[in-house]
Amino acid sequence: MKIDNFIGELKKLNIVLNEIQLNQLEKYYELLVEYNKVMNLTGITEKEEVYLKHFYDSLSICNVINLNNVESLCDIGTGAGFPGLVLKIVFPNLKVTLIDSLNKRINFLNIVIDNLGLKNINTIHARAEEYGIKNREIYDIVTCRAVAQTNVLLEYCVPIVKTTGYFIPLKGKMDNEKDFNHAMKELDVILEERYEFLLPIENSNRTILKFKKLKSTNKKYPRSNKDIKNKEL
């Protein structure tokens, strides 16, 4: 995706970037490629593919939520910062928390944050289920991108969502997804929207799920990683 195409596709999402934001994304890309030489951040390094499969894909969440009206957002399993760091660049109003279980990724994210001069964004080295035990119901939006089956993601992420807030995972094609109705019932959420679309240019399948949290999560969730693996919801 060339820059002009990227800008044009974002306008369809009611996103207009200024020069500062465009420069920040460019610097982000440069740092991603540089540090990817010494650590495994992404298999995608060609510029047009990064703008399509990482930057635009991260911003596709705007198909289901207006982030201009959101205060706090947490990205679970953020990896190299997708979608959370991209969302912070484009929506500077957000207070963003990036969580990942690998410290080398956290170190990379801190380098990017420092180089881009971003404020009100913090990184946390933690496993999602461990973080959710002590940090409950503090974010308006929790998101993640293609890190696990939806029934598992719900248990990881819903406990840290505020009541009446949203958990919004970004997924690919969902043909092989396990049923997650039981998980929804146990965690007191409803599927408010399921948005399916094709990624521009390459036309690969994408699905965005928008779960609304109805009431406070039972304190027995999230369980330990061992218990989740032994018996998924």
Q: What is the pLDDT of residues 179-233, one digit of tens each?
A: 999 999 999 999 999 999 999 999 999 999 999 999 999 999 999 889 998 999 9
Please tell me the distance from the alpha carbon of residue 197 to that of residue 203, in angstroms, as a whole number: 9
**Contact of 195 with 208, CB cutoff 8 Å:** yes
Name residue 194's beta-bridge partners. 209
Hey, where are the domains in the chain?
A: 3-230
Please tell me the distance from the alpha carbon of residue 142 to that of residue 127, in angstroms, as a whole number: 15
Is the domain covering 3-230 a CATH 3.40.50.2300 domain? no
Q: What is the pLDDT of residues 55-79, one digit of tens each?
A: 999 999 999 999 999 999 999 999 9
Across 121-130, average pLDDT: 95
